[in-house]
């Protein structure tokens, strides 16, 4: 078994990505498989400080400021992640494709700019596999209603989330290292699907 695996869970608000990454982390822990789990924005100490600024309901940033804050958080995270790269399984709750989906497809920021800054920050850090969680509008709204605390990104209009999810699907199109998880289906069905894939990834890498 190789520990050189970076696995990302992507998706819009209410898509189940955090639920699934937490389940996978628990599964690996029970199997005594060494791994780390982080989120974006957030993760490292400095990234968590930036996360609070980004998601604060009182924040009202320009699109370009929003983008650069996400990159600042990622820059802090990469230094932390590189300590474990090729040493442990790394699970990430949102990563580079979120920036493209939200800031490019959702907000209209130039894709070339996003990719250039991403490449500058990441350098040799590579993602091996991505689970893209998708959800319909009704289920997304119902799940957000159940949240005790909502952040700034939980309160956009539904057409924004539609643009972002369509963006995610464009990113995932024809990619072999992507698995689309339909979060409108049963929890058990999706958990089994994800765990089966995780076990295969552990054997492959």
In a domain, 79, yes or no: yes
pLDDT at 1: 45
Which of these ranges, 7-21, 33-47, 85-99, 138-152, has the smallest mean pLDDT? 138-152
Q: Is residue 169 part of a domain?
A: yes
**Is residue 144 in a domain?**
no
Entry pTM: 0.92
| Residue 15 counted as domain residue | yes
Q: If we measure between CA atoms, which residue out of 205, 198, 202 comes closest to residue 179?
A: 198
Which residues make Cβ contacts (< 8 Å) with residue 162, sequence separation at least 6? 137
Its domain, for residue 129, covers 6-137+150-204
Structure tokens at 89: 């399984």
- Looking at the 3D structure of the chain, how many domains does it have? 1
Give the pLDDT confidence of 103-117 residue by residue, as tens digits. 999 999 999 999 999
Instruction: Tell me the average pLDDT across 27-44.
Output: 94
Reported as a single tens digit per residue, the pLDDT across 156-202 is 788 999 999 999 999 999 899 999 999 999 999 999 999 999 999 98
pLDDT at 66 over 50: yes
For residues 61 and 153, is the Cβ–Cβ distance under 8 A? Answer: no
Calculate mean pLDDT across residues 45-58: 90
- Residue 145, in any domain of the structure: no
* 22 located within any domain: yes
Output the average pLDDT for the chain.
92
Contact yes or no for 121/79 (Cβ under 8 A): no
CATH of the domain at 196: 3.40.50.300
d(CA 65, CA 158): 23
Tell me, yes or no, whether 1 lies in a domain: no
142 occurs within a structural domain: no
User: What residues contact residue 180 under an 8 Å CB cut-off, 6+ apart?
Assistant: 132, 134, 169, 172
């Amino acid at each position: 078994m190789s520990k050189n695996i970076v696995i990302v869970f992507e998706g819009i608000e209410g898509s189940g990505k955090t639920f699934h990454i937490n389940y996978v982390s628990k599964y690996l822990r029970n199997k005594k498989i060494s791994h780390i789990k982080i989120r974006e924005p957030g993760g490292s100490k400095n990234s968590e400080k930036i996360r609070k600024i980004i998601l604060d309901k009182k924040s009202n940033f320009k699109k370009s400021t929003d983008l650069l804050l996400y990159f600042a958080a990622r820059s802090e995270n990469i230094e932390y992640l590189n300590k474990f790269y090729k040493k442990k399984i790394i699970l990430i709750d949102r990563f580079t494709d979120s920036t493209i989906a939200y800031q490019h497809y959702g907000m209209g920021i130039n894709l070339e700019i996003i990719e250039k800054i991403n490449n500058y920050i990441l350098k040799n850090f590579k993602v091996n596999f991505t689970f893209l969680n998708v959800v319909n509008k009704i289920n997304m709204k119902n799940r957000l209603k159940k949240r005790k605390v909502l952040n700034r990104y939980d309160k956009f209009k539904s057409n924004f989330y539609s643009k972002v999810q369509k963006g995610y699907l464009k990113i995932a199109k024809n990619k072999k290292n992507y698995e689309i998880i339909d979060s409108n289906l049963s929890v058990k069905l999706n958990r089994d699907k994800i765990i089966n894939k995780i076990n295969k990834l552990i054997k492959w890498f």
